[in-house]
Structure formats: C-alpha cells, structure tokens
Amino acid sequence: MPDIDLPAKLAVSPTGTLAGGNGVYTKHLADMSGVYRDTAAYEAELTERGGDALVYRVESQDYGPHSGALTIGTSTLLPGRVGDEFAVTRGHLHAISDRAELYYCLSGRGVMLLETLDGRSEAFELTPGEAVNVPGEWIHRSVNVGDEPFVTLFTYATDAGQDYQLIADAHGMRSLVVADGAGGWKLRENPDHTGYRRA
C-alpha cells in the first residue's frame, strides 16, 4: 500500500478560485492556434488582443496518479468569440479512455460538447447548479456561450490523463458551437473534421 494521502479541504469560489489546490495552469490566445476553424478571425484576434490574452484557467488539487485517486478542480473559461465560434477549451479524451468526469456549473452559461470516436454527438447547456456525468469514451470540450466567465467544478480519476492530440489530428471536433445570430448558440458541422483516429 502506498502512504495514505491526507484528506484535503478545498474552498471553491464561483469565480473559479480553488483555495487548497496545488496546481494551476492557464491557456492564452497564442496557445489556441489551430483550435478555431476561422483562421482569419483568429489571426485578427491575435493582432488585436495579443497572444497573451487569457482564454481559460484551471486550478486543481491532486495527490499524483495513485490508483483510485481523484483530481478535483475548477475551470474558468472566459467569454468571447473568434468569428462566430464561441470560446472553447482544447478538449480531450482521457488517455485511459474509460475514465468518466463530472462537471458541475458554478457560474456563467456554457455548453459541454461531447463526441465519440464512432460518430456520436451530444451538446448540453449548463447553467449554475447543472452538471454532466461525462462517461468514458466521450471526447469533451467546454464552450462559453454566455457573457460571463463559464466556471465549472470538475472531478476525474487522476490516472485518467488527457489526450489532446486526437482532436488536433482530426482538425477539430466534428461540431462547432457557433452564434445563431439571435443571441444564442447552435451546432454547425466542422468542414475540416477528418474523423478521429486513435494513435
């Protein structure tokens, strides 16, 4: 048996702060190259806002990838658009693909976009108090379709890991979450998507 981990108390703020966490990472506009399909709009955003403009921030707490351990964290995705595509996280399939993940919305308005390797697709809008159980085998990405930061509390088995390359190799997810021209969102097929191929 490994040494027993000590329980961790966390204070979770609807603004995305996680007191008691031990990890933070941020993604900036320059990190999102290749993520949005409207390259011209992305380049214009880069010029206007600069590559170091924040896109999202993740705070988390874990113990390392012991069997059975959970990573707990907050994801804060700022509002914004690139052309008509709403701000997104990179998205991932878990490297151990049967691992599930919980997302619970703390503030803002977002969409959890979910796709399988074999072509299934789901999109769930999340507002505060709503959650989604993302089962194994589902590629998933957060999308901010509101005007405020979209903040979620998440949990997954630490050993799950993340495969981000799968989406990049497929030239993006199958569906894009875009403005519907009436203040809402809709799905549009990504014309560049080449299908998922697991390495």
Query: Could you give the string, one character per residue 92-111, with x where binding to a copy of itself holds by CB under 8 A and - elsewhere?
Result: --x-x-xxxxx-x-------
- Does 58 participate in binding a copy of itself (rule CB under 8 A)? no
Closest approach, Cβ 99 to a copy of itself, in A, equals: 4
Query: Edge-to-edge, what's the strand order for the sheet holding 23-28?
Result: 23-28, 54-61, 70-77, 150-157, 101-107
Q: Which of 36, 66, 5 is nearest to 177 (CA)?
A: 36
Angstrom CA distances, 48 to 29, 35, 77, stand at 11, 18, 19
Asked if residue 148 lies in contact with residue 106, where contact means CB atoms within 8 angstroms, the answer is no
- Does 81 participate in binding a copy of itself (rule CB under 8 A)? no
- Does 177 participate in binding a copy of itself (rule CB under 8 A)? no
Closer to a copy of itself by Cβ: residue 3 or 48: 3
Closer to a copy of itself by Cβ: residue 31 or 137: 137
Strand partners, 154: 73, 103
Closer to a copy of itself by Cβ: residue 17 or 190: 17
- Does 9 participate in binding a copy of itself (rule CB under 8 A)? yes
Q: Which of 35, 134, 145, 173 binds a copy of itself (CB under 8 A)?
A: 134
- Does 67 participate in binding a copy of itself (rule CB under 8 A)? yes
Q: Which of 29, 77, 111, 132 binds a copy of itself (CB under 8 A)?
A: 132
- Does 155 participate in binding a copy of itself (rule CB under 8 A)? yes
Angstrom CA distances, 144 to 9, 21, 65, stand at 28, 24, 29
Q: Is 93 exposed, middle or buried (0-12, 13-18, 19+ CB in 10 A)?
A: buried
Q: Which of 53, 69, 78, 179 binds a copy of itself (CB under 8 A)?
A: 69
- Please state the length of the chain: 199
Give the DSSP H/E element, type plus range, for residue 42. Answer: helix 39-49
Beta strands per DSSP E along 13-120 = 18-19, 23-28, 54-61, 70-77, 81-82, 85-88, 101-107, 110-116
Closer to a copy of itself by Cβ: residue 84 or 122: 122
Footprint of a copy of itself (CB under 8 A): 1, 4-14, 61, 63, 66-70, 72, 94, 96, 98-102, 104, 112, 114, 116, 118, 120, 122, 124, 126, 129-138, 153, 155-157, 160
